[in-house]
Amino acid sequence: MAVLGVVALVVYLVDQIAKVLVVQNLYEGQRVEVLGQLLQFNFVKNAGAAFSIGSGSTWIFSIVGVGVLGFVIWYAPRIRSAAWAVLFGLLLGGLLGNLTDRLFREPGFGVGHVVDFLQIPLLPAIFNLADVAIVSSMVLFLILTIRGIGLDGKRTDDEEEAEAEAVAAEAEPDPHDKPAG
């Protein structure tokens, strides 16, 4: 649980500090090359979700964000694996970063615009560090799920194999038992 909290806190703080620096040092729409054509800063205020989808429905994203936040907090005590704790920490920190923007940035409570500023010219989106954390958590989710690693850190196929062996052992007759008759 401590790993989850530390990861969430670090993601949240780095995201919010980066956004404050962007708002203080760039004007909206300003583009700055960081690594040539590989990475640029491009400050935009995003009222929607990814790719500005749902720009008129910011309040819905705020409500969904609060719901997901509640789920993560409710689900967190079940996590017994460091990898899953990192996953949920990334998700929680990213969610809190974008939710803070939606709740407290202009134009108003619950309908605030998210500060996006990272642009990779080869990709069609402008995003922020909270988005990177959320996407990273989803990639980690896929990896853990494909590898069959449960919330306890154990491989689910190992558990299934152990159960199958136990059932098979119970079904086999003991060679030391004498046949009835």
Would residue 12 count as lying in a domain? Answer: yes
Q: In total, how many domains does the chain have?
A: 1
| pLDDT at res. 181 | 55
Sequence-distant (6+) residues with CB within 8 A of 7 are 85, 86, 89, 90, 92, 93
Given 15, 101, 116, 152, the catalytic residue? 116
Q: d(Cα 118, Cα 97) in Å, to the nearest integer?
A: 15
Given 131, 152, 157, 177, the catalytic residue? 131
Q: d(Cα 96, Cα 88) in Å, to the nearest integer?
A: 12
- Average pLDDT value for residue range 49-54: 63
Q: d(Cα 7, Cα 76) in Å, to the nearest integer?
A: 13
Would residue 180 count as lying in a domain? Answer: no
| pLDDT at res. 174 | 64
| pLDDT at res. 60 | 85
Q: Which pTM value belongs to this model? A: 0.81
| pLDDT at res. 67 | 94
Would residue 86 count as lying in a domain? Answer: yes
| pLDDT at res. 59 | 78
Which structural domain range is residue 127 located in? 2-162
| 158 is an active site residue | no
Q: Give the 3-state secondary structure of residue 126.
A: strand
Of the pLDDT bands very low, low, confident and very high (cuts 50, 70, 90), residue 108 is: confident
What's the alpha-carbon Rg for the chain, to the nearest Å?
23
Would residue 169 count as lying in a domain? Answer: no
Of the pLDDT bands very low, low, confident and very high (cuts 50, 70, 90), residue 36 is: confident
- Which has the closest alpha carbon to 162: 174, 153, 170, 173? 170
Would residue 38 count as lying in a domain? Answer: yes
| 116 is an active site residue | yes
Which of 87-91, 147-151, 174-178 shows the lowest per-residue confidence on average (mean pLDDT)? 174-178
Would residue 90 count as lying in a domain? Answer: yes
| pLDDT at res. 164 | 62
Would residue 174 count as lying in a domain? Answer: no
